[in-house]
Amino acid sequence: MRLSRREFLGSALAGTAGALFPVPAAGQGAVPRVVVVGGGFAGASCARALRTADPRIAVTLVEPSATFIACPLSNAVLGGLRELSAQQFTYERIAADGVTLARAAATAVEASMRAVTLADGRRLGYDRLVLAPGIDIRWGALPGYDEAAAAHMPHAWRAGEQTLLLRRQLEAMADGGLVVIAAPANPFRCPPGPYERASLIAHYLKTRKPRSKLIVLDAKDAFSKQRLFLQAWSELYPGLLEWVPLSKGGAVTSVDAATRTLVTDFGRHKADVANVIPPQKAGRIAEVAGVADRSGWCPIDPVTFESRLQPGIHVIGDAAIAGAMPKSAFAANSQAKTCAAAVARLVTGAAPSAPKLINTCYSLVAPDYGISVAGVYQPSGGQLAEVPGSGGVSPADAPRATRALEAGLAESWFRTITTEVFG
């Protein structure tokens, strides 16, 4: 995947020649141009890291929203422990670092022409394109669950209005009500997310509506940090939170939004509040650009994150098939910096070096009870694999003081990464 000098020059010339491309002022001459699509943890981190890696690179960040709403800790918003405003960030400081912001959605990619089309009609030429589109919901993949259904049974899997809708429904529910969460099969954004959500909703019910019940209907028999979650649930939320795995009939086969009913092979659950976390795929532009495979996700080279399907296009974050790395904000940030380093080398004709990546994910089981999973990854056999002997979850026998410490670290991590990426 590395470019020879001649190939690089060729593509640079193709990119800057022709009147086809409205070349941005900063992109004139031999300045390498990198376009990053998507302003989440992956894209925003990558745009900034590219400027740090090589200030000569003209970086454009394509993102239609003026405000980014972060998903990590948004489960605390559902449980009334946190306000959505604490999840919101803007792009001003990224622009101040010399990143050009394009406030529009990317609608098309012409890989052969090395150009991206935006919804406002602009065309941006690039030497390298980085796609960080996050996830899209597979509407209709779960029968009965379409965009209209999400107004009754929120997914709240992209933080924002959906998060507030689910919170309002929980607040409006009478004590003694039934809350049902439907968790999807792998892969999906934030593997421990449904279980942290169940925990913090259970905490809300326990403290505010203690006669209520929460059922998690799961399309899987195993999940992230499972032992720690199950142990904490039996300690903190006995009789309140019930997890139904696939083998016990947990897989939801259809939903009826009008009656808030979730159907499994074993029965029907009529919920007072239903949170359907639906099947997902890479954000739409990945499909449009031809970098998503039949799974709906994007195969990549583990050293450069360059697409295995389209040369010159890199995919990072939740949209990528990153081997053993989970779809998390930490992983997205780690991948973004790796990809930025590789791209900075590739645009000058240099060879990228072998990376090492990290993931750390904290989950809150209660406001003062945190657990974590960590991993270290490196390219191996064409994929990102865990470094043998590294990583793992919090100890099962840790005292409550350690759980409290990790709950504090969850907040510390969030403050640090959001400051580093957006501040």
Partner 1 sequence: MRRTLAAAIGATSIAAAVVASAEPPAGAAACSGCHPASTRVTTPVVRLAGRDRAEIVKAMQEFRSGMRASTVMDRIAKGFTDQEIQAIAAWYAAQR
DSSP characters over 311-371: TTEEE-GGGEE-TT--S-HHHHHHHHHHHHHHHHHHTTTPPPPPP-EEEEEEEEEETTEEE
Q: What is the DSSP letter of 411?
A: H
Q: Which stretch binds partner 1 (CB under 8 A): 60-68, 225-233, 241-249, 413-421?
A: 413-421
Nearer to partner 1, 96 or 174 (CB): 96
* Alpha-carbon gap, residue 351 to 1, rounded angstroms: 9
Alpha-carbon dihedral 208, 209, 211, 217, rounded to 10 degrees: -110
Backbone angles phi and psi of 321, in degrees to 5 = -90, 100
CA 364 – CA 65 distance, rounded (Å): 28
Judged by CB under 8 A, the stretch of 4-12, 124-132, 182-190, 400-408 that binds partner 1 is 400-408
- Tokens 């390498």 sit on residue: 32
Residue among 23, 42, 53, 78 that touches partner 1 (CB under 8 A): 53
> What type of residue is 144?
G
Report, in angstroms and rounded to the nearest whole number, the Rg of the chain calculated over CA atoms: 22
**From 358, 368, 383, 385, residue interacting with partner 1 (rule: CB under 8 A):** 358
Kindly state the smallest distance separating residue 419's Cβ from partner 1, in Å: 5
Query: Is 227 near partner 1 (CB under 8 A)?
Result: no
Which of residues 104 and 358 has its CB atom nearest to partner 1 in the complex?
358
Q: Does 259 bind partner 1 (CB under 8 A)?
A: no
Beta strand pairing call for 369-380 and 392-393: antiparallel
Distance CA 371, CA 405 (A): 9
- Is there binding between residue 348 and partner 1 (CB under 8 A)? no
423 binds partner 1 (CB under 8 A): yes
Question: Is residue 49 close enough to count as binding partner 1 by CB under 8 A?
Answer: yes
Q: Tell me if 126 contacts partner 1 by CB under 8 A.
A: no
Are 306 and 347 in contact, with CB atoms under 8 Å apart?
A: no
How many Å apart are CA 420 and CA 89, to the nearest integer?
12
**Which CB sits closer to partner 1, 222 or 405?**
405
Give 263-269's long-range contacts (Cβ < 8 A, gap of 24+).
264/217, 269/178, 269/180, 269/215, 269/217
Q: Which of 220, 330, 363, 369 binds partner 1 (CB under 8 A)?
A: 330
Q: Which of residues 369-398 bind partner 1 (CB under 8 A)?
A: 372, 374-377, 386-387, 389-392, 394
Asked if 360 interacts with partner 1 (CB under 8 A), we say: yes
Nearer to partner 1, 241 or 344 (CB): 344
Q: Figure out which of the listed residues 5, 168, 268, 415 binds partner 1, where binding follows CB under 8 A.
A: 415
Alpha-carbon torsion 220, 388, 370, 67, what sign?
negative
Q: Which stretch binds partner 1 (CB under 8 A): 61-69, 113-121, 220-228, 399-407?
A: 399-407
90 binds partner 1 (CB under 8 A): no
Q: H or E element: which one contains 167?
A: helix 161-172
Q: Does 264 bind partner 1 (CB under 8 A)?
A: no
Q: Is 417 in the site for partner 1 (CB under 8 A)?
A: yes
Under the binding rule (CB under 8 A), the answer on residue 250 touching partner 1 is no
* 95 contributes a contact to partner 1 by CB under 8 A: no
Binding site for partner 1 (CB under 8 A): 49, 53, 330, 333-334, 337-338, 341, 353-358, 360, 372, 374-377, 386-387, 389-392, 394, 402, 405-406, 409, 412-413, 415-417, 419-420, 423
